[in-house]
A = this chain, B = another copy of it.
Amino acid sequence: MESGIQERLAEFIRRKGLRRTGQRDFIIKSAFSKDEHFTAEELFDRVRKSSSDISRATVYRTLALLVEADLLREIDLGDNQTTYDPNFLEKPSHNHLVCIDCGRVVEFEDAHIDLLNDCVTRRLGFRPVRQTLKIEASCEQLRLNGRCPNLIASRLSGKRLRRKR
């Protein structure tokens, strides 16, 4: 886990008159233990597996807190649950490409995109705050070679692809 997080949250908690608890620390540690996206339920499972008896409600409530503190960001991957992205601290303005064949999610940054969108925003008479770009695309590999390593991998691993329910 990146070092600054507990501190940043501590600061946020102090500022809002909240309290630091064991549950919150544990959930935060779990949330930032990998750079993978996760849903609330997935995080709840992860927390549970680490032999902890933290409740589902507390996981949801802590996630809301982290989002408010801007340590975690909600993203929409097109299934019907909120996905959380722990990588905005490292890459404050990255975007997502979702492969419609294999479901793989690729994160990327691009200064040109940011700049262009900012310009457009100002031209429309607004002050830019945040932008969310999701690109849906299909595998060149699958199209050209008839197979996509990631598609196969996701089949083997049994990982569900993020599709509509």
Residues on A facing B (Cβ under 8 Å): 76, 97, 99-100, 106, 108, 110, 112-113, 116-117, 120-121, 124-141, 143
Residue in contact with A127 in the complex, picked from B116, B125, B131, B137, CB distance below 8 Å: B137
Nearest chain B CB to A72's CB is how many angstroms away?
15
Q: In the assembly, what is the distance between CA of A116 and CA of B143, in Å?
A: 22
Q: How far is it, in angstroms, between the C-alpha of A137 and the C-alpha of B126 when the chains are bound?
A: 6
**A127 contact set on B, CB distance < 8 A:** 137-140, 143
State the 5 A-B residue pairs at the shortest beta-carbon distance, nearest first.
A126-B137, A130-B136, A132-B134, A131-B135, A76-B76
Q: Is there an interface contact between B100 and A129, defined as CB atoms closer than 8 Å?
A: yes
Per assembly, the copies of the chain total 2
Is the pair B125, A136 in contact by a Cβ cutoff of 8 Å? no
- Residues of chain B within 8 A (CB-CB) of A133 are 117, 131-134
Taking A100-B129, A116-B116, A117-B113 as contacts, is the C-beta distance between A106 and B124 under 8 angstroms? yes
Docked pose: A143 CA to B129 CA in angstroms: 13
Given the known A-B contacts A108-B120, A116-B116, A124-B108, are A134 and B135 also in contact in the complex, defined by CB atoms under 8 Å?
no
> Nearest CB to that of A118 among chain B residues?
B135
Q: List 9 A-B contacts (CB under 8 A).
A: A97-B124, A110-B120, A113-B113, A124-B137, A127-B139, A127-B143, A129-B137, A129-B138, A130-B136
| A97, B131: Cα distance in complex, Å | 9
Q: A112–B129 Cα gap in the complex (Å)?
A: 20
Q: How far is the CA of A133 from the CA of B143 in the complex (A)?
A: 26
Is the CB–CB distance between A112 and B108 below 8 Å? no
